[in-house]
Amino acid sequence: MDPLNLVQQDTSPSVRRLVLSLDKLLISIPQTIVDAQKRVAAIQRCVRLLAALGIDGESLVRYGMPQRATLAIYVAAITPQRKALLTRMNFDGWRSLLGLGVTSDDLPGTLLTDEGEGEGEESSAGETGPAPLFYVPARLNKWAANAPFSDLIQWTPPAVDDWERMALEQAPAVDVTDAYTWLWQRNAVNELDRWTTASLHLEYRWQNLQQVGLFSEAALAGDGPSPELLNGVIAQRAVEPGDTSEMDSTFWALQDTAVEYLTHNKFAEAVALFEFHHKRYPNDARAMNNMGFCLMAVSPSKALHWLEKATKYGYPEVTINTFNQCCCLERLNRGAEALDKAEAYWQRERVAHAARGYLWVLTGAEWRLAADRDPVHELATLALRVARDLGRDDRAARWRERLEGLAA
> What is the reported pTM?
0.71
d(CA 386, CA 339): 7
Closest CA to 155 of 324, 10, 26, 284: 26
394 has pLDDT over 90: yes
204 has pLDDT over 90: yes
Report which DSSP code applies to 354. P
List, for residues 298-320, the tens digit of each pLDDT value: 999 999 999 999 999 999 899 99
> What pLDDT does residue 295 have?
95
* 3-class DSSP state of 360: strand
Q: How confident is the model at residue 103 (pLDDT cuts 50, 70, 90)?
A: very low
Q: How confident is the model at residue 87 (pLDDT cuts 50, 70, 90)?
A: low
* 3-class DSSP state of 363: strand
Average pLDDT for the chain: 85
SS3 of the chain: helix, strand, coil, percent, to 5: 65, 5, 30
d(CA 39, CA 1): 14
* 3-class DSSP state of 131: helix
Cβ neighbours, 10 Å, residue 306 = 29
- The predicted model gives 2-16 an average pLDDT of 68
Cβ neighbours, 10 Å, residue 304 = 24
With 0-12 CB in 10 A as exposed, 13-18 as middle and 19+ as buried, what is 19? buried
Give the CA distances from residue 27 to residues 273, 303, 366, in Å, rounded to whole numbers and listed in that order: 15, 27, 30
352 has pLDDT over 80: no
Residue 284 and residue 247 in contact, taking contact as beta carbons nearer than 8 Å: yes
Give the highest mean pLDDT range of 83-97, 141-155, 344-358: 141-155
127 has pLDDT over 60: no
> What pLDDT does residue 120 have?
45
CA angle (222 as vertex; 219, 225 as ends), nearest 5: 120
> What pLDDT does residue 114 have?
44
Q: How confident is the model at residue 123 (pLDDT cuts 50, 70, 90)?
A: very low
Report which DSSP code applies to 173. P
Closest CA to 61 of 136, 150, 139: 150
Cβ neighbors of 196 (< 8 A, separation 6 or more) are: 178, 181, 182, 185, 244
Closest CA to 156 of 165, 143, 166: 143
- The predicted model gives 268-296 an average pLDDT of 90
CA angle (144 as vertex; 143, 148 as ends), nearest 5: 90
244 or 180, greater pLDDT = 180
> What pLDDT does residue 264 have?
86
Least confident span in 196-210, 237-251, 338-352: 237-251
> What pLDDT does residue 84 have?
57
- Chain-centroid distance of CA 42 in Å reads 23
- The predicted model gives 150-176 an average pLDDT of 91
Strands 366-373 and 357-363: antiparallel
Residue 267 and residue 81 in contact, taking contact as beta carbons nearer than 8 Å: no
